[in-house]
Amino acid sequence: MTPRMYWTRRTDRDQPGDTVTQQDNHAGTALVVVAHHRPDSLTAHTARRAAARLEAAGYRVDLLDLHAEGFDPRMNLADQPDWGNREKRYSDEAHAHMQRVLDADAIVAVFPVYWQSVPALLKGWIDRVWNYGFAYGRSRPRLAGKRILWLGLAGATADDAVVAGMQTLLEANLSEGIAYYCGFSHSAVGLLTDAEERPQRVDSDGNLLIGEAVAGAERAAQYADFERRAQQFVEKFIAAEVVGT
């Protein structure tokens, strides 16, 4: 596993080398988790923008790119929960990631929505790292008081009938089933629709309809709106922390 990477702010174009010095006085540590196999993906770009906004708000950002760091999402014997021993020592890799979670005051997970859920890369990270005896299984949760924002990128258009159900499922699985179960004080799901160049929607008969790819000014406007919505979710998440204090 590569050493953890602390974020320094980049320009809007995310060009390597275009950085400014990170603030010394920070509001806490934010762990930004990227769950995508391509560094040039919209998911990775959205994560970098979220990291920059958190850094600008005073957070020290630990950017965890699961694929780039070679995280293996497959469960193994070393990290299999032992229901009779909540003090089990898990693998060194799992414990390194556990420490990064413990060090974070806030977590932002950025991922593409697959089958109305998270991709295997992120699910495996939760399975192996948010493990019995660490994230749950204690009367006083070790993760109590932490906050998390789940940013999910979906190809569906905002007016697609599946979006409402997708939002409900993600909130039930991620906020209720994971975050609050592990003692988090706040969990929010930001569903970012219209993430594809070609609009996608399901009609009343269940057929997937894929439109023509947008280009030029229309494409620029679509992605400007996408970034605006993504930033709003991050801003709201930051504001909720300020109100909570």
| pLDDT tens digits, one per residue of 75-121 | 999 999 999 999 999 999 999 999 999 999 999 999 999 999 999 99
pLDDT for 5: 54
Strands (E), the chain: 5-6, 28-34, 59-65, 106-112, 147-153, 186-192, 200-202, 208-210
Residue 243 pLDDT class (50, 70, 90 cuts): low
pLDDT for 20: 30
Residue 51 pLDDT class (50, 70, 90 cuts): very high
Condensed to tens digits (0 to 9), the pLDDT of residues 36-48 reads: 999 999 999 999 9
pLDDT for 133: 97
Q: What 3-state class would DSSP assign to 57?
A: coil
Q: What is the mean pLDDT of the chain?
A: 87
pLDDT, greater one: 204 or 221: 221
Amino acid at 166: M
pLDDT for 198: 65
Residue 30 pLDDT class (50, 70, 90 cuts): very high
143 pLDDT above the threshold of 60: yes
> Token pair of 30, please?
């934010």
Residue 244 pLDDT class (50, 70, 90 cuts): low
pLDDT for 19: 33
Distance, in Å, from the CA atom of 72 to the CA atom of 47, rounded to the nearest integer, reads: 20
Distance, in Å, from the CA atom of 130 to the CA atom of 233, rounded to the nearest integer, reads: 24
In contact, 108 and 186? CB cutoff 8 Å: no
Question: How far is CA 174 from each of CA 38, 52, 178, 186, 190, rounded to the nearest angstrom?
Answer: 23, 24, 5, 11, 11
Residue 11 pLDDT class (50, 70, 90 cuts): very low
pTM over 0.75: yes
